[in-house]
Amino acid sequence: MYKSSRTAACLMLGLTSSISGFSEQKVEPKQRPNIIFLLTDDQRWDGMGAMGNPIIQTPNMDALATQGILFQNAYVTTSICCVSRASVLTGLYESGHGVHDFNTDLKPDVYQKSYPHLLKEAGYKIGFIGKYGVGHHPPFHEFDFVFDTEEGGKAQPDYITIGKNGKEIHDTDTIGESILSFVDKFADQGPFCLSVSFKAPHEQDGNPPKYVIQPEYQHYYQDVTIPTPVTADPIYWEKLPDVLRTEANFGRERWKGLFGTPELYQENVKNYYRLITGVDDVVGKLRDKLESLGVADNTIIILMGDNGMFLGEHGMEGKWYGYEESVRVPLFIYAPGLPDKIKQYRAPQMALNIDIAPTILSLAGVEVPEGMHGMNLIDVVENKTPERTDFFYQHYFLGGPQIPMVEGVVGKDFKYMNYIEVDSEELFDTKHDQHEIENLAADPAYKNKLEELKKRYQELKAKYSVSAEERAKINKAF
Question: What do you get for the CA distance between the two ends of the chain, in Å?
Answer: 41
Q: Taking a C-beta distance cutoff of 8 angstroms, is the pair 425, 449 a contact?
A: no
Q: What is the pLDDT of residue 355?
A: 98
Give the DSSP per-residue string, 398-439.
Answer: SBTTTB--EEEEEESSEEEEEETTTTEEEEEETTT-TT----
Task: Lowest mean pLDDT of 155-164, 184-193, 461-470, name the range.
Answer: 155-164
Average pLDDT, the chain: 92
**List of residues 6+ apart from 192 with CB closer than 8 A:** 34, 35, 124, 125, 126, 127, 144, 182, 186
Q: Residue 476: CB partners within 8 Å, gap ≥ 6?
A: 398, 399
CA distance 294 to 83: 36
- Residue 451's contacts (CB-CB under 8 Å, 6 or more residues apart) are none
Residue 208: is the preceding peptide bond cis (ω within 30°)? Answer: yes
- Taking CA atoms, 307 is separated from 31, 82, 201, 261, in Å, by 33, 10, 11, 25
Q: 206 CB contacts (<8 Å, ≥6 apart)?
A: none
Q: How confident is the model at residue 14 (pLDDT cuts 50, 70, 90)?
A: very low
Average pLDDT over residues 25-53: 86
Q: Within 22-170, where are the H helices?
A: 59-67, 81-90, 94-97, 108-111, 115-121
Those residues with Cβ within 8 angstroms of residue 372's Cβ, 6 or more apart along the chain or in another chain: 3, 90, 91, 92, 113, 354, 357, 358
Name the pairing type of β-strands 299-305 and 331-334. antiparallel
- Tell me the pTM: 0.93
Q: pLDDT tens-digit profile of 363-390?
A: 999 999 999 999 999 999 999 999 999 9
Cβ-proximal residues to 140 (8 Å cutoff; 6+ apart), any chain: 128, 132, 146, 148
- Domains of the chain listed by start with CATH number: 8-392 (3.40.720.10)
Question: 355: how many CB neighbours lie within 10 A of its CB?
Answer: 27
Residue that wins the pLDDT comparison between 19 and 386: 386
Confidence of residue 21 (pLDDT cuts 50, 70, 90): very low
- Taking only the tens place, the pLDDT of each residue in 428-451 is 999 999 999 999 999 999 999 999
Query: Judging by DSSP bridges, how do beta strands 192-197 and 34-40 pair with one another?
Result: parallel
- Residues 246 and 415: their CA atoms lie apart, in Å, by 23
The share of the chain scoring above pLDDT 70, in percent, equals: 92
* pLDDT for position 206: 85
- Distance, CA of 108 to CA of 156 (rounded, Å): 23
Whether the per-residue pLDDT at 12 is higher than 50: the answer is no
What average pLDDT does this structure show over 223-248? 96
| Mean pLDDT score, 208-217 | 94
Q: How far is CA 233 from CA 123, 237, 252, 316, 438, in A?
A: 54, 7, 14, 11, 14
Contact 195, 167 (CB under 8 A): no
Q: Flag whether pLDDT at 408 surpasses 70.
A: yes
Residue 6 has pLDDT above 50, yes or no: no
The values of phi and psi at residue 124, to 5°, are: -75, 145
To which H or E segment does residue 35 belong? strand 34-40
Residue 20 has pLDDT above 50, yes or no: no
**Residues 20-34: what's their mean pLDDT?**
53
Q: What is the pLDDT of residue 151?
A: 76
Query: DSSP for 176-209?
Result: HHHHHHHHHHHTTSS-EEEEEE--TTSPBPSSS-
Beta strands in 297-401 (DSSP E): 299-305, 310-311, 317-318, 328-329, 331-334, 345-352, 390-395
The gap from C-alpha 458 to its chain's centroid, in whole angstroms, comes to 26
Closest by CA to 304, choosing from 359, 258, 256, 260, is 359
Cβ-based neighbour number of residue 450 at 10 Å = 18
Separation between Cα atoms, residue 117 and residue 110, nearest integer Å:
10
Q: Which tens digit of pLDDT belongs to each residue from 319-337?
A: 999 999 999 999 999 999 8
What pLDDT score was predicted for residue 273? 98
d(CA 400, CA 249): 8
Give the containing element (helix H, strand E) for 258. helix 250-259
- 198 vs 201: CA distance, rounded Å: 8
The residue length of the chain stands at 478
Query: How far apart are the C-alpha atoms of 87 and 464, rounded to whole Å?
Result: 13
Choice among 8-12, 250-254, 285-289 with the minimum mean pLDDT: 8-12
Is residue 308 a contact partner of residue 341, using CB atoms and an 8 Å limit? no
What lies within 8 Å, CB to CB, of 399 at 6+ separation is 405, 421, 474, 476
Q: Classify residue 132 as exposed, middle or buried by CB count within 10 Å of its CB (0-12, 13-18, 19+).
A: buried
